[in-house]
């Protein structure tokens, strides 16, 4: 469950304050599909970025699965972020790495063992139906296949 409690985010703006997220509270339950709709500049991206603390709120709290998510908790935040998937509108695949190597990359970052990485990569390739394309490069995949691969980067 994702929970925002009375969250406010203010950006300084030419000596003024711009309230991007204004006292927002919401709960998103497991399995629920929750859309955030609003005009350009309404604060949608900022709100989403608060969930994994790419932005830090000025007030209020963010909880994921009952755990308080705080950017200022430098020790814990990266561990917690690993459990929060986020897909950027323009996510980046590494074009010089194969499908398999792209999927493996985040596991290398967290220094996961090779055997664990390989097993996980295999599972994820199967999950998105890219079996047989493990050694292809992103440029050799269709747009849809690139999307599937991007999702697995999480
Ligand atoms: N890093 C930032 N610094 C200053 N102002 C920002 C920053 N990020 C977003 N804003 C401002 O906050 C408001 C909300 O932006 P954003 O969350 O990107 O809106 P949306 O995603 O709904 O289009 C906008 O006015 C934007 O200019
Ligand atoms: Mg946006």
Residues whose CB falls within 8 Å of the CB of residue 116, separated by 6 or more in sequence, listed in order: 107
Do 75 and 31 have their domain in common? Answer: yes
User: Which atom number of ligand 1 is nearest to the Cα of residue 42?
Assistant: 22
Which residue has the CA at smallest separation from atom 5 of ligand 1? 11
- Is 91 a member of any domain? no
- Is 138 a member of any domain? yes
Which residue has the CA at smallest separation from atom 3 of ligand 1? 11
Kindly state the tokens that stand for 24.
């927002």
Its pTM stands at: 0.73
pLDDT, tens digit, for every residue of 75-92?
Answer: 888 888 888 887 776 667
Kindly state the tokens that stand for 9.
């985010």
pLDDT, tens digit, for every residue of 103-146?
Answer: 999 899 889 999 999 999 999 999 888 999 999 998 888 877 87
- Is 90 a member of any domain? no
Which numbered ligand comes closest to the C-alpha of 38? 1
**Domain span holding position 34:** 2-81
Residue 5 in contact with residue 24, Cβ under 8 Å? no
């Amino acid at each position: 469950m994702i929970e925002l409690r009375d969250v406010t985010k203010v950006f300084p703006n030419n000596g003024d304050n711009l309230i991007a997220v204004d006292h927002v509270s919401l709960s998103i339950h497991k399995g629920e599909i929750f859309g955030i709709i609003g005009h350009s500049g309404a604060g949608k991206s900022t709100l989403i970025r608060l969930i994994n603390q790419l932005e830090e709120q000025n007030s209020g709290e963010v909880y994921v699965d009952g755990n308080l998510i705080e950017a200022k908790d430098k020790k814990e935040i990266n561990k917690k972020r690993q459990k929060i998937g986020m897909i950027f509108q323009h996510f980046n695949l590494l074009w010089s790495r194969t499908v398999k190597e792209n999927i493996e990359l985040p596991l290398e970052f967290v220094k996961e063992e090779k055997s664990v990485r390989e097993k996980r990569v295999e599972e994820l390739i199967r999950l998105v139906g890219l079996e047989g394309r493990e050694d292809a490069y992103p440029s050799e995949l269709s747009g849809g296949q690139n999307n599937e691969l991007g999702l697995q980067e999480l």
